[in-house]
Amino acid sequence: MKLDFSTVNWEEVSTATTDTLTMMLFSVLFTFIIGLPLGVLLYLTGKSNRAAAKPVYAVVSFIVNILRSVPFVILMIAIIPLTRIIIGTSIGVEGTIPPLVIAAAPFFARLVETSLREVDRGVIEAAQAMGASTWQIVRKVLLPEAMPGLIAGTTITAVTLVTYTAMSGMIGGGGLGDLAIRYGYHRYEFEVMIVSIVVMVLLVQVLQWIGDALVRKFTRK
Amino acid sequence: MIRLEHISKQYDARGKASGPLALDDVSLTVADGEIFGIIGHSGAGKSTLLRSINLLERPTSGTVTVDGVELTKLTQGGLQQQRRKIGMIFQHFNLLSSATVFDNIAFPLQLAHTTKEKVQAKVDDLIRLVGLEEHRDKYPAQLSGGQKQRVGIARALANDPKVLLCDEATSALDPQTTNAILDLLLDINRKFGITIVLITHEMHVIQAICDRVAVIHAGAIAEQGKVIDVFLKPEHPVTREFILEERNDAELQPWAAFKTQATEHSRVVKINYLGDVTYAPVLHQVLTAAGVGFAILQGTISRMKDVPYGQLVVRLDGEKTAVEQSLLSLRDKGLEVEVIA
């Protein structure tokens, strides 16, 4: 088989790349906005001795586990009615963002919970001894101390989201994955598929590189 | 300044109706401006006791009063307010690893919503007080243990507390650094009149800076009093253990070993010195006047915080009446004399 890259429609590749980037950036943004407080909630209710905390943890943890155990392809289709309510459409770049966020936020929340648990118990105790409120401890102790872990978690989530966007082609979501399936799988135009894969690999490499650089910058230990 | 009344602490144990009793009806009073030491083996309950003072560990029963405020009655918000007046330092320093020396010391001030200018001025003062001018913008990972503890002390003092709690503050430090940190604590106590409560498992820490001491064993106070009294006349076996560990001079013989030195014309006595009399030439004057000769068989002369003390085993040679007379004179001069043989 001879590959001929001159047949590749570069304009379409460029549009697909932009779509993937848009889906990824917005879904990372909303995942962060929803997942961070959720992770903090899991952390706080998970270790609290208060009577009210246990049922809260149990419920939130259960929902998170359910969302994490449904494969993304199925979740994406299952929540189409919900997506319609939120965005007004269930197709295109906009229509893909809600399922991406709903799939990634619980995953990110668990990563946040784990990073917060890594924070030295003694430092939290010291803050309590200084008269810090729970909110002050979260904002001024837990989040800054867990910063490298949170950045690493965000990087992992962003990379995962890139691969999720590829599946969104199935519901007409657009992007590089969609392009690869349409040309490579349905039309046997392997050149486009190869180009799509290369762009996605590059995208993941760049994300990881940025994430690692930020982790290094914020690590003080 | 601090009053603990009938404090008991029981931890919850899984599967059992009740866990072990970490503290069993402990009552304790610490006076204003004093340095109070709590000594005990690990697991004796000293850490729980210290944490009861600022309610990091809430006692199962009993009341805690600090500076006239009963902490055990306060709401969470009220307790947070009061905790700002109680500084605390830790064995492992517990500094924010993501913040510089400056920001670590500024942290409690920011919690109390202090204005930026005031924070700046106060933190600079504190950095000078603990001698870390050169390290202002470094992160904890770049500091030595002693320097980290200095940051911890500066941070604990930021809100001008009346009480400073020290949780094994020198246990992770080498002996030289330990002494420097103890000196700093003593200095702070004298300069600001701040009441200090410290817990330790090392007698020399107590000996170096404490005014009073409580020996804690199995969740209860075995013995408490002035350091010098407890040190010279320990009553509880655990106290004796700590003192012996500290002396670690195996060559010191038990007093009874000198009984054989006594003859018809000589007696063996143990003399305890306490206070200024330790440095006075009492022994020589009294015995010369009485015409009694003497030989020192064993002895220790040292200081505890500021109080000199000594313990000598002496053989007195001379006429029986002259020896008896000299013993009375020595007691008159304020020495404690105990006849061994």
Mutate: best of B96, B101, B113, partner A, most A CBs <10 A: B96
- State what percent of residues in chain B have pLDDT above 70: 96
CA distance A138 to chain B (A): 12
CA distance B145 to chain A (A): 14
More reliable by pLDDT, A126 or A5? A126
Q: Do A131 and B80 touch (CB under 8 A)?
A: yes
DSSP B72-83: GG--HHHHHHHH
Residue found under tokens 């519901």 = A171
pLDDT tens track for B45-93: 899 999 999 999 999 999 999 999 999 999 999 999 999 999 999 999 9
| Whether pLDDT at B248 is above 60 | no
The predicted structure's pLDDT at residue B14: 59
- Measured between CB atoms, which of B84, B95, B97 is closest to A130? B84
| Whether pLDDT at B260 is above 90 | no
The span from the CA of A73 to the CA of A78, in Å, is 9
- Measured between CB atoms, which of A126, A144, A221 is closest to B141? A221
Q: Which residues of B touch A136 (CB under 8 A)?
A: 111
The predicted structure's pLDDT at residue A10: 87
Q: Do B83 and A127 touch (CB under 8 A)?
A: no
Residue B255 pLDDT class (50, 70, 90 cuts): confident
Residue found under tokens 């197709």 = A91
Q: What is the mean pLDDT of residues A104-126?
A: 96
pLDDT tens track for B24-33: 999 999 999 9
The predicted structure's pLDDT at residue A48: 78
- Measured between CB atoms, which of A120, A147, A218 is closest to B94? A120
Q: Do A130 and B159 touch (CB under 8 A)?
A: yes
**Angle (nearest 5°) at CA B175 between B56 and B181:** 50
CB under 8 A, 24+ apart: contacts of A188-195: A189/A7, A190/A1, A190/A3, A191/A3, A191/A4, A191/A5, A191/A7, A191/A8, A192/A8, A192/A9, A192/A12, A192/A13, A194/A3, A195/A5, A195/A8, A195/A13
CB count, 10 Å around CB of B89?
A: 28
Of A154, A129, A140, which Cα lies nearest the Cα of A213? A154
Of B178, B200, B169, B176, which Cα lies nearest the Cα of B92? B169
Mean pLDDT of chain B: 90
Q: What is the mean pLDDT of residues B279-308?
A: 86
Q: What is the mean pLDDT of residues B202-221?
A: 92
Q: With contact defined as beta carbons under 8 Å apart, do B24 and B219 qualify? A: yes
- Measured between CB atoms, which of B94, B98, B107 is closest to A125? B94
Instruction: Find residue B36's DSSP bridge partners.
Output: B197, B212
pLDDT tens track for B303-326: 887 888 888 889 999 888 888 888
DSSP B151-188: HHHHHHHTT--SEEEEESTTTTS-HHHHHHHHHHHHHH
Residue A50 pLDDT class (50, 70, 90 cuts): confident
| Whether pLDDT at A214 is above 90 | yes
The predicted structure's pLDDT at residue B145: 94
Instruction: Find residue B23's DSSP bridge partners.
Output: B9
Q: Which residues of B touch A127 (CB under 8 A)?
A: 107, 111
Number of H helices, E strands in chain B: 11, 14
Mean pLDDT of chain A: 90
Q: Global pTM?
A: 0.84
> What is the rounded (10 degree) CA torsion for B79, B82, B84, B89?
-80
| Whether pLDDT at B249 is above 80 | no
Q: Do B111 and A140 touch (CB under 8 A)?
A: yes
The strand order across the sheet containing B35-39 reads B86-90, B163-167, B195-200, B35-39, B212-217, B220-226
Q: Taking the mean position of all CA atoms in its chain, how far away is CA B113?
A: 34
| Whether pLDDT at B250 is above 70 | no
Q: Do B88 and A126 touch (CB under 8 A)?
A: yes
| Whether pLDDT at B17 is above 80 | no
> Residue B293 in 3-state DSSP?
strand
Structure tokens at B20: 């072990």
Q: With contact defined as beta carbons under 8 Å apart, do A149 and A69 qualify? A: no
The predicted structure's pLDDT at residue A203: 93
Residue A1 pLDDT class (50, 70, 90 cuts): low
The maximal CA–CA distance of chain B, rounded, in angstroms, is 80
Residue B18 pLDDT class (50, 70, 90 cuts): low
Q: Do B83 and A130 touch (CB under 8 A)?
A: yes
| Whether pLDDT at A7 is above 90 | no
pLDDT tens track for B112-126: 999 999 999 999 999
CB count, 10 Å around CB of B236?
A: 15
CA distance A104 to chain B (A): 28
Q: What is the mean pLDDT of residues B224-235?
A: 88
Q: Do A140 and B56 touch (CB under 8 A)?
A: no
Residue B19 pLDDT class (50, 70, 90 cuts): low
The predicted structure's pLDDT at residue A136: 95
Name every residue in B having a CB less than 8 A away from some CB of A.
54, 56, 77, 79-84, 86, 88, 90, 92, 94-99, 107-108, 110-112, 139-141, 155, 159, 165
Of B154, B150, B157, which Cα lies nearest the Cα of B178? B150
Residue B241 pLDDT class (50, 70, 90 cuts): confident
